[in-house]
Amino acid sequence: MRITLAVPADFEFETAVASHGFFALAPNQWDARGMSLTTVLTMGNESIRVTVKPSPPSGKPAVRILAPGQIRLGQAHRSHIRRGISRMLRLDEDLSPFHCMCAADPRLESVATSRFGRLLRSPSLFEDIVKTMCTCNITWRQTLGIVQRLVDQYGTPALNDPSSRAFPSPQQLASVGEARLRTTCSLGYRAEWVARLAKEVVEGRFDLEACDQSSLDSDELHRHLRSIHGVGDYAASTLCMLLGRYDRLAVDSETVKHYKLQFPRRKVTPTLVRKHYERHQPFPYLVYWWEMWNRYRDETGQATSWSKE
């Protein structure tokens, strides 16, 4: 199976995939040599393994979605795959205002020329929320391990590759329960958060689709996200970013470290950090992330060549 998706004029595949750490979290697999992203998408009680690649330079700007193996998919499955990959790559977002703002600032011109701004997310908001919970008060290596175990233990095997599994659905995690999540996936106290969220989604007490398509302003959306058990200010701000709201900075220890490296003599507070990026409204998060991601690359090389650790 092959599906072709048109992309915006300012879309850059490598930048869209490898400028946010989610590309390293299961079930995602990044192939730096082949310049492709493989993932597993859930479709009801089934899942399908797909590989996403950029179109050849000679063709129209697009991404190609390939499903290996001898498998026939109906129109409903194809539409689901299109929606999932479009959401992951943010193909429906208009970043031209952000790029115009950066082009007018000599310090940020390279943001526009590199087509930076589409930070990889998950095919579903549920997966985004759970993965964000798994980044709170924990090392990146531990986050990688927890998410991998969630997929290995409870994800649905792909129809076209049973050795690959999707990220578990709310129904699957709700049926597992807190105690088993704690012991089988090393979630610690986060097991309560994940189990409770899954149960609320299954019971209809938290509407993921309404939240994903919300027209609330950023402050209201942030308050709504904070109503999720286990989601504090940092996680809610990160989720706002994943929902395309870039006017709120998610401040954690890494944000503070980044600011201290720029201004070592200043006494750093979250308020001061937010004030520093406020001049870049409505895109302070993207400007901050651009700076920090460049620092990571200066320290460790191109993201596309990073190991999962």
Question: Is the full-model pTM beyond 0.85?
Answer: yes
Residue 125, pLDDT > 90, answer yes
The DSSP letter of residue 60 is: -
Given a contact cutoff of 8 angstroms between Cβ atoms, the answer to whether 118 and 95 are in contact is: yes
Asked if 295 and 262 touch (Cβ cutoff 8 Å), the reply is no
Tens digit of pLDDT for each residue in 164-190?
A: 999 999 999 999 999 999 999 999 999
State the average pLDDT over residues 227-232: 96
Q: What is the pLDDT of residues 204-221, one digit of tens each?
A: 999 999 999 989 999 999
Rounded CA separation 11/273 (Å): 29
Does CATH number 3.30.310.20 belong to domain 2-95?
A: yes
Architecture (CATH level 2) of domain 125-219: Orthogonal Bundle (1.10)
Residue 307's SS3 state is coil
Chain-centre distance for alpha carbon 5: 19
Q: Where in the chain is the domain with CATH 1.10.340.30?
A: 125-219
Helices 253-262, 270-277: inter-axial angle, 10-degree rounding: 70
Residues of the chain with CATH 3.30.310.20: 2-95
168 cis-preceded (ω within 30 degrees of 0)? no
- pLDDT of residue 307 exceeding 80, the answer is no
Least Cα distance to 187 among 125, 133, 239, 235 occurs for: 133
